[in-house]
């Protein structure tokens, strides 16, 4: 029994590690990408239609490939980056590449929803363009960005289970090997309960934080 608990615990840690690292990277890469997508649009703060098109095209490309296929297709790239195609760190590569454009699109929507009047007022007051990004767009979009990041986290937990199934470890791996291959319902049910608890907790924290940041 204690062996089973140990297995569950280490699988949970693996999942948290995979999701945590890839989501942190997605935040660090996706947010600047979202800002670029917004401000490089025609007639916006830093108009650059070519960059805008390339970026939008890249985001669409990665978003349109199902995660399972993306993971397999990225195997050579993953091996080149982390030196292996097996285990938690190997899963971080495709997870990050899936999460970044996903989060970038959601953050982009929040940034676009910022009232144009605010940008205009800031221009009228003598803000430089990067001041507007930093002091107007990002703070005003913050509640939406936090909600979007929560959605990204939950989606990544989902995807990490898929990564587990092809040998990345974590809760998905546990459920697949014991629940699917050995018909161990108890393990299956336990994993489901842990996942539901994890997602519920994340969603709750995300909603709370977003509400606290929202003064509209």
Partner 1 sequence: MVSLSYPDTGALSHSAVATRASGAAHITLEALSKRYPGQAVDALHNIHLQIQRGEIFGIIGRSGAGKSTLIRCLNRLEEPSGGRIVIDGTDISALTSRQLVEWRRSTGMIFQHFNLLSAKTVRQNIELPLRVAGVPAAERARKVDALLALVGLESRQHAWPAQLSGGQKQRVGIARALVHDPELLLCDEATSALDPETTRAILALLMKINQQRHITIVLITHEMDVVHDLCHNVAVIDQGEIIERGPVWQVYSDPQQETTRQLLNPDHQTLPESVASRLSDRRLQPDDRLLLRLRYTGRGAQPDIGALSALIPGEITVIHSAIEWVANKPIGQMLVLLDARHEAQAVTPQLAHIADQLEVSGYVTGY
Question: What does the block give as tokens for 9?
Answer: 């615990």
Question: What does the block give as tokens for 96?
Answer: 């990050």
Q: Considering the complex, state which of residue 122 and residue 163 has its C-beta at the smaller distance from partner 1.
A: 122
Task: Give yes or no for residue 34 binding partner 1 (CB under 8 A).
Answer: no
205 vs 197: CA distance, rounded Å: 12
Task: Give yes or no for residue 57 binding partner 1 (CB under 8 A).
Answer: no
Question: What does the block give as tokens for 15?
Answer: 């999942």
Q: Least separation, in Å, of the C-beta of 26 and partner 1? A: 21
Task: Give yes or no for residue 117 binding partner 1 (CB under 8 A).
Answer: yes
162 vs 176: CA distance, rounded Å: 9
Task: Give yes or no for residue 216 binding partner 1 (CB under 8 A).
Answer: yes
Task: Give yes or no for residue 48 binding partner 1 (CB under 8 A).
Answer: yes
Would you tell me how many other CB atoms lie within 10 Å of the CB of residue 145? 25
Exposure string over 74-91, b if 16+ CB within 10 A, otherwise e: beeebeeebeebeebbbb
Q: Which of 27, 7, 17, 31 is nearest to 163 (CA)?
A: 17
Cβ atoms 94, 55 nearer than 8 A: no
Task: Give yes or no for residue 210 binding partner 1 (CB under 8 A).
Answer: no
Count, residues near partner 1 per rule CB under 8 A? 28
Q: Least separation, in Å, of the C-beta of 150 and partner 1? A: 18
The region of 35-43, 63-71, 77-85, 197-205 touching partner 1 under the rule CB under 8 A is 35-43
Helix and strand counts by DSSP (H, E) for the chain: 10, 0
Letters for 151-190 (x = contact with partner 1 by CB under 8 A, - = none) are: ----------------------------------------
Q: Which of 2, 66, 124, 181 binds partner 1 (CB under 8 A)?
A: 124
Site residues, partner 1 (CB under 8 A): 36, 39-40, 46, 48, 51, 115, 117-118, 120-121, 123-131, 135-136, 139-140, 142, 213, 215-216
């Amino acid at each position: 029994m204690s062996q089973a608990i140990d297995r569950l615990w280490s699988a949970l840690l693996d999942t948290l590690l995979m999701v945590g690292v890839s989501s942190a990277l997605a935040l660090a890469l996706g947010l600047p990408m979202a800002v670029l997508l917004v401000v490089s649009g025609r007639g916006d703060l830093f108009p650059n239609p070519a960059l805008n098109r390339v970026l939008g095209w890249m985001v669409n490309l990665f978003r349109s490939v199902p995660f399972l296929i993306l993971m397999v297709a990225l195997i050579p790239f993953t091996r080149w980056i982390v030196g292996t195609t097996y285990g938690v760190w190997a899963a971080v590569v495709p997870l990050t590449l899936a999460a970044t454009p996903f989060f970038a699109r959601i953050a982009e929507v929040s940034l676009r929803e910022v009232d144009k009047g605010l940008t205009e007022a800031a221009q009228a007051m003598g803000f430089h363009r990067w001041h507007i990004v930093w002091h107007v767009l990002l703070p005003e979009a913050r509640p939406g960005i936090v909600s979007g990041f929560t959605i990204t986290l939950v989606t990544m937990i989902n995807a990490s289970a898929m990564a587990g199934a092809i040998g990345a470890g974590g809760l998905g791996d546990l459920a697949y090997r014991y629940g699917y291959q050995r018909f161990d319902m108890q393990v299956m049910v336990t994993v489901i309960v842990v996942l539901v608890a994890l997602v519920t907790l994340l969603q709750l924290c995300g909603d709370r934080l977003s509400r606290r940041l929202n003064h509209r």
